[in-house]
Structure 1
Amino acid sequence: MPHLVIEYTSNLENFPEAHLLDALNAAVIASGQVQNEQDLKSRTVRTEQFVIGADPTALRGFVHAELRLLAGRTPEAKRDLSDRIGAVLREFTPHPEGMLVQLSVDIVDMDRGSYYKGSL
């Protein structure tokens, strides 16, 4: 905990996965909402098959971030995290000419009672 998953469409050429993840981890850790920096696990998922809207001729893409945290944070803390992540996405996401690129962030509460965490 926490888990940060970034999904992005394959039509966003040269998506800067490594640099984006470094910047996102720094932003989330700087929020003060992560007790131990080594607990933050981030990854990207390139989405090959996707549909946005109903116009097959429109040039569109998206980047969606989902941050999963153990429940208990205030709405203000979640909004701050969402804003921080959104700012990093805006800075690092490619914007090909003529393409509408949608950015979104979702902060998801994980159930403390059923979450398991172990180490080896």
Structure 2
Amino acid sequence: MPQITVDYSEQLAQDFDRPGFAQALHATVVEIAAAKPPACKTRFRRSEDTTVGPDAEGHAVVHVTLALLAGRTDETKTRLAEAVLELLRQYVKPAAGLALHASAEVRDLDPSYRQFDT
């Protein structure tokens, strides 16, 4: 915990500093949501196909989902989502002519969530 998933359009592969973003995001989650640094886990999923409205060309999407153990206030979750968007502005630099659509969601993990580390 937290479990972080970043879905992004394939055309951002060269324009998205994913390692830098993950490191900055982990530090932000520790600061805002009181997570432990070694507990932060981020995985990136590249999407080959992205359509925005009626257009399949000229658009790129990044969506970040942060799943945390329950107990954070809505204010904390909102603050974290806004910080994620600010980090995306810093670490995603789309090519000229490419419209970026960025979003973030912070939610509680289901009570059934369990994990183990070896």
| 1:110 matched residue in structure 2 | 109
Residue segments in structure 1 that go unaligned for 5+ positions in a row: none
% same residue = 30
Dislocated runs of 4+, deviation >6 Å: none
Contact map agreement 1:13 1:94 (CA 8 A) in 2: no
Structure with bigger helix share is 2
User: How many pairs align?
Assistant: 117
TM-score (norm 1): 0.88
* Aligned partner of residue 11 in structure 1, secondary structure: helix
- Tell me the distance in 2 between the aligned counterparts of 1:7 and 1:97: 21
| 2:23 matched residue in structure 1 | 22
Give deviations 1:60-95, integer Å, cap 9, x for gaps.
Answer: 001110000112211111011111111111111122
Show the 5 A alignment for 1:28-107: 28-34=29-35, 36-56=36-56, 58-107=57-106
- Tell me the distance in 1 between the aligned counterparts of 2:55 and 2:10: 18
> What's the Cα RMSD here?
1.4
Contact map agreement 1:28 1:85 (CA 8 A) in 2: no
Deviates more, 1:25-34 or 1:82-91: 25-34
| 1:8 matched residue in structure 2 | 8
Contact map agreement 2:7 2:47 (CA 8 A) in 1: yes
- Tell me the distance in 2 between the aligned counterparts of 1:37 and 1:27: 10
Contact map agreement 2:8 2:45 (CA 8 A) in 1: yes
